[in-house]
Amino acid sequence: MIFFTFRFDISSSFAAATVLAVALSLPTGAAAGETPEASLKDAFADAFLVGTALNREQILGKEPDTLALVARQFNAVTAENVMKWEKIHPEDDRFDWTAPDALTDFATAHGMQVAGHVLIWHQQTPGWVFEDADGKPASRELLLARMERHIDTVVRRYRGRVQCWEVVNEALNDDGSLRRTPWLEIIGEDYIQRAFEYAHRADPEACLYYNDYNLYKPAKRDGAVRLVKGLLEQGVPVSGIGLQGHYGMGHPEDLQDFADSIAAVGALGLEAYITEFDLSVLPFPDEQSRSADLSVDLELKAQLNPYADGLPAEVEQRQRERWVALFRILLEQKDTVARVTFWGVNDGQNWKNDWPMRGRTDYPLLFDRDNRPKPAFYDIIALTR
Ligand code: GLA
């Protein structure tokens, strides 16, 4: 069975105790001269929660300044990687709670919501999950039992500390049909329903949602609506849909599609979570160029990594306008939107610097590489005044 992982994760071995110490000693107010007075969580308090994703080093206290910024600016956190199956449950009989515990301690200390990312996905899940003792494909019964144990153990441990779980991630193709993953092939279509039921049983209070990318595309959005409607009709406890917001300057081409996708969730009577929000300014390279060495091929570098030395004012301006347009829509739909979570704290941390091509310089978030708020940060906050 082919199982691939293209996302990366940088690990470190900092002690969990460090983060709690850091978390508890964080300043509650802005330090003069180095902190913006405004905060995202306060500005949007009447509309929705504002969250960010933290990587392992941040969670374990390696970047105390970043954690201090997070505590001032955000009221929700997500683990970028450390709660994914391969990290939290790397072997059949081994769970690694170090970083997830540190994250939930940090969030509890600061009264933040935790969005558990993610229980069931076809990526970043170890190969053994889908195999039996002889290395053959697992049976439906075996995989269901594994799924139940994983979900039950993880969700039960964080009852009351993780308020929302992304139960299933990326189960759909762009045409709205079910993606052929080992979960689907081995268990069958009811794997999604089962995952929600196990999660609900383990924590009846938690909000549980389905999460996917490209849901602004009408066919995929309709697929998600069909999927979730079907689950609701069968009494499956789904509280919302997470729309991964990995956007660029040209996509969604028409922001009305973004608005429509949120409205579609509202029409189901559910909450929408903008998960994984970032706005890339880089061109999307074709398959062939992705492996090129841009330090050698300067012509290609100019095309594909054009802002390595800084973002031109004109591009920054266009990006600011796009952030504003996106947030106008979010505010218009605030009755449906429960949370907006950025995929990382600052530009230097975001995955778009290394995907789909390694070693580029992107500017997809609201804080720069030194954790300073960018002009778009102030533009967005101004919308709430
Ligand atoms: C997907 C996943 C995330 C993360 C991003 C890329 O959207 O849901 O966990 O891996 O891709 O960083």
Segment holding 184, helix H or strand E = helix 182-187
The answer to whether the CB of 278 is under 6 A from ligand 1 is no
Q: What is the pLDDT of residue 253?
A: 97
Residues 219/173, Cβ–Cβ less than 8 Å: no
Q: Helices 191-202 and 218-233 sit at what angle, rounded to 10 degrees?
A: 60
Which residue in this structure is represented by tokens 């967005």?
380
The answer to whether the CB of 105 is under 6 A from ligand 1 is no
pLDDT of 325 > 60? The answer is yes
CA 367/CA 375 separation, integer angstroms: 9
pLDDT average, residue stretch 315-344: 98
Residue 57 falls in the annotated catalytic set: no
Average pLDDT, the chain: 92
How many degrees, rounded to 5, is the angle at CA 143 between CA 229 and CA 121? Answer: 55
Which atom from ligand 1 is nearest to the alpha carbon of 81? Answer: 9
CA 250/CA 361 separation, integer angstroms: 18
Beta strands per DSSP E along the chain: 49-54, 76-79, 113-120, 164-169, 207-212, 240-248, 271-280, 337-342
pLDDT average, residue stretch 39-55: 98
Task: Note the pLDDT tens digit of each residue in 192-250.
Answer: 999 999 999 999 999 999 999 999 999 999 999 999 999 999 999 999 999 999 999 99
Q: What tokens does 125 get?
A: 């899940």
Which residue in this structure is represented by tokens 């504003």?
324
For residue 235, count other CB atoms closer than 10 A to its CB: 8
Specify the length of the chain in residues: 385
Q: What is the pLDDT of residue 36?
A: 55
Q: What is the pLDDT of residue 188?
A: 98
Task: Note the pLDDT tens digit of each residue in 298-314.
Answer: 999 999 999 999 999 99
Return the higher-pLDDT residue of 198 and 292.
198
pLDDT of 6 > 50? The answer is no
Residue 37 pLDDT level (bands cut at 50, 70, 90): confident
3-class SS string, 28-90: CCCCCCCCCCCCHHHHCCCCCEEEEEECHHHHCCCCHHHHHHHHHHCCEEEECCCCCHHHHCC
Task: Note the pLDDT tens digit of each residue in 142-196.
Answer: 999 999 999 999 999 999 999 999 999 999 999 999 999 999 999 999 999 999 9
Share of the chain above pLDDT 90, in %: 89
CATH number attached to the domain at 26-284+298-382: 3.20.20.80
Q: What is the pLDDT of residue 33?
A: 47
Task: Lowest mean pLDDT of 4-18, 23-37, 285-299, 370-384, name the range.
Answer: 4-18
Which residue in this structure is represented by tokens 């193709």?
173
pTM, two decimal places:
0.91
Residue 35 pLDDT level (bands cut at 50, 70, 90): low
- Three-class DSSP category at 339: strand
Q: How far is CA 285 from the centre of its chain?
A: 23
Query: Taking the C-alpha atoms of 49, 52, 56 and 60 in order, what is their torsion angle to the nearest 10 degrees?
Result: -60
Task: Lowest mean pLDDT of 92-96, 118-122, 293-297, 308-312, name the range.
Answer: 293-297
Q: Domain residues of the chain, as ranges?
A: 26-284+298-382
The residue type of 11 is S
Task: Note the pLDDT tens digit of each residue in 252-273.
Answer: 999 999 999 999 999 999 999 9
Residue 276 falls in the annotated catalytic set: yes
The answer to whether the CB of 169 is under 6 A from ligand 1 is yes
Given 63, 170, 197, 271, which residue is catalytic?
Answer: 170
